[in-house]
Amino acid sequence: MTNYVLIAHPRTASSWVKNHFQQLESQKFLGEYFSPDNMQPGTFKKDYNQLKIDFLEESRVKGTEYFIKYMVGHIDNFPDWFTTFYKGYEKIKLLNTDVWRVFLSYGYQCYIGWNNTGLYKRPTEIKEFNIFLPVIQTFAKSYSQYIRYDNYDTLFDMKEISTKTILKHIGIPQYDIKSKRHVHNYELKLKQNIEMTKLFLKDELRKNNNDMVF
């Protein structure tokens, strides 16, 4: 029986994709286990990651495997361990090349403090927002690293996948969909000049050797 691990970037629809794996019989579901949002104040990132790694290794000794969604930024903290630990797993990379939409969703979350991340679950009203240069720079760097990331076995392209194709791939007959996936129009609520923002984003992407067209 195949075990899986999902690799993604924030705001690439990874939460919608990961939920399809909740019914796997061979793995317990941990979701985004290494998210820094779960880190207690005063904890060093290195210690935080090591505690979680220790738990996963101890669980494996006891015969328990977990399905986890990793952001590429998480894996950068322990690339050698990741490669060794997940040898034999099917490493699935979720590819979302709609960089403008991913960027707007990312920028919106930065603006509101990442306190409403599950927007795909509901038709929530999007507030007006701005995206400032430091956010553009951070996004361009992390997204470019994500696009170049190549330590995976299978590519799930958001342009091609659906609930049906995901379930067929992982061998689950049906998925208990509690709500449909809502797609929000962030561009309508962006207060700053759209074309100027695109120019800033393209410039920062190029600085990270990323010439994506949008």
Structural domains in the chain, CATH included, are 4-207 (3.40.50)
Mean pLDDT in the chain?
91
Lowest-pLDDT choice from 86-90, 102-106, 170-174: 170-174
117, HSE (Cβ side, Cα atoms, 13 Å): 15
Distance CA 168, CA 154 (A): 14
pLDDT tens per residue, range 145-189: 999 999 999 999 999 999 889 999 999 887 666 556 778 899 999
- What is the C-alpha to C-alpha distance for residues 46 and 41, in angstroms, rounded to an integer? 14
> For the residues 25-43, what does the mean pLDDT come to?
81
Query: What Å distances lie between residue 105 and 18, 169, 194, 207, CA to CA?
Result: 18, 28, 14, 21
Other CB atoms within a 10 A radius of the CB of residue 189 amount to 15
pLDDT digits (tens, 9 = 90+) for 55-66: 999 999 999 999
The residue ranking higher by pLDDT, 101 or 181, is: 101
The predicted structure's pLDDT at residue 71: 97
What whole-number percentage of the chain has pLDDT above 70? 91
pLDDT of residue 70: 97
Secondary structure element (H or E) that encloses residue 164, with its range: helix 163-170
Query: Which residues, at least 6 apart from 67, have a Cβ–Cβ distance to it below 8 Å?
Result: 3, 4, 5, 6, 18, 21, 22, 24, 27, 28, 29, 30
Mean pLDDT of 22-44: 81
Say whether pLDDT at 132 is over 80: yes
Of 45 and 97, the structure prediction assigns the larger pLDDT to 97
Q: Tell me how far apart the alpha carbons of residues 189 and 97 are, in angstroms, rounded to a whole number.
A: 22
Instruction: Give the position of tokens 């994709």.
Output: 17
Helix or strand (DSSP H, E) at 143: helix 133-148
> Could you tell me what percent of the chain has a pLDDT over 90?
75
